[in-house]
């Protein structure tokens, strides 16, 4: 293992502890992601670790601090030296496995819930892929705000697990599940719907929304495009939006992003926000980790443990 590079002025050297294998990492390796690095490059777009050394001019960080790697650095390595501005200090006592997953999914859920509509307490929200990392974060963040969730998923055997997180209603992501949701006593059409699947699943979500409801696509797990019926647009005025959290990271001010990450990190440290981990692999088993991360039916994220 190569020794760590000492930090220069304004830099921090971090010992990486954990880094997840995300779909975006797989897509980057395939060359299909929306933003590709210049080669040679190290993969890994999020991670967490501890500060080893701090260069001159860096304030608010000290050796031993737990930190999230907030910049676009390659996190799949044991050590990384980077500008102090690309590191965010984490609350004491936070689980670094959880913190390694803080950069992408939790702020995506936060933006879905806050960036498109002002919701009153008790408002209903609908989503597919409810058992995904973003879906689980949506459930927990909505519960904290007093909002209620209609959740659709392919593996209905996970329903009790999602209810334990705070999911109000859970249905299979099928035409029958859609009709069951509409037939539920006290059903109120949601004004917000979050789509990570595409294809027919996305259309069922639109069908559920109230007139002028907002349908936000942030993923395309099925790899099927949206073919929207004209009636959804003409008679119900459904609004179609898209979210790519990478673009938000690039455009948000450090203060805005810092406040959101601070809230999310505190929730993680308090146990109010938790994402599932299925397995941890050492870097020498990277091939197994990549294969595992692409399996159907996973119950949590695959992490690299350095």
Q: Which residues are known to be catalytic?
A: 33
**CA of residue 140 relative to chain centroid, distance:** 12
User: Residue 15, exposed/middle/buried by CB under 10 A (0-12, 13-18, 19+)?
Assistant: middle
Nearest 5 degrees, angle CA 145-CA 217-CA 188?
50
Q: What is d(CA 111, CA 29) in angstroms, rounded to the nearest whole number?
A: 27
| 8 Å CB contact between 122 and 186 | no
Distances (CA, A) of 70 to 49, 67, 101, 103, 219: 11, 9, 11, 7, 21
- Position of tokens 């999230």? 68
Cis amide leading into 40 (omega within 30)? yes
Element of type H or E holding 48: strand 48-54
């Amino acid at each position: 293992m190569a020794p760590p590079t000492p930090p220069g002025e304004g830099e921090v050297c971090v010992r990486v502890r954990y880094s997840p294998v995300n779909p975006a990492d797989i897509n980057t390796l395939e060359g299909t992601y929306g933003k590709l690095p210049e080669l040679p490059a190290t993969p890994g777009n999020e991670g967490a670790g501890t500060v080893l050394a701090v260069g001159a001019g860096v304030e608010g960080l000290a050796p031993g601090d737990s930190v999230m790697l907030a910049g676009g650095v390659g996190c799949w390595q044991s050590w990384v030296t980077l500008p102090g501005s690309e590191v965010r200090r984490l609350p004491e006592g936070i689980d670094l496995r959880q913190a390694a997953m803080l950069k992408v999914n939790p702020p995506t859920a936060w933006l879905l819930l806050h960036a498109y509509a002002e919701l009153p307490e008790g408002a209903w929200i609908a989503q597919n892929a409810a058992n995904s990392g973003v879906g689980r974060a949506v459930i927990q963040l909505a519960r904290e705000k007093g909002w209620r969730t209609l959740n659709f998923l392919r593996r209905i055997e996970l329903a009790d697990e999602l209810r334990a997180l705070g999911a109000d209603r859970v249905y299979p992501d099928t035409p029958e599940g859609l009709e069951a949701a509409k037939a539920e006593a006290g059903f109120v059409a949601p004004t917000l719907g979050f789509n990570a699947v595409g294809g027919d699943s996305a259309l069922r979500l639109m069908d559920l929304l109230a007139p002028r409801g907002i349908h936000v696509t942030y993923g395309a797990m099925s790899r099927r495009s949206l073919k929207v019926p004209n009636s959804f647009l003409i008679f119900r005025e459904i609004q179609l939006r898209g979210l790519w959290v990478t673009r938000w990271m690039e455009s948000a001010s450090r203060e805005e992003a810092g406040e959101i990450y601070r809230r999310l990190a505190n929730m993680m440290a308090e146990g109010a926000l938790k994402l599932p981990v299925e397995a941890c692999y050492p870097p020498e088993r990277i091939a197994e980790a990549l294969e595992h991360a692409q399996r159907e039916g996973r119950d949590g994220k695959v992490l690299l443990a350095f």
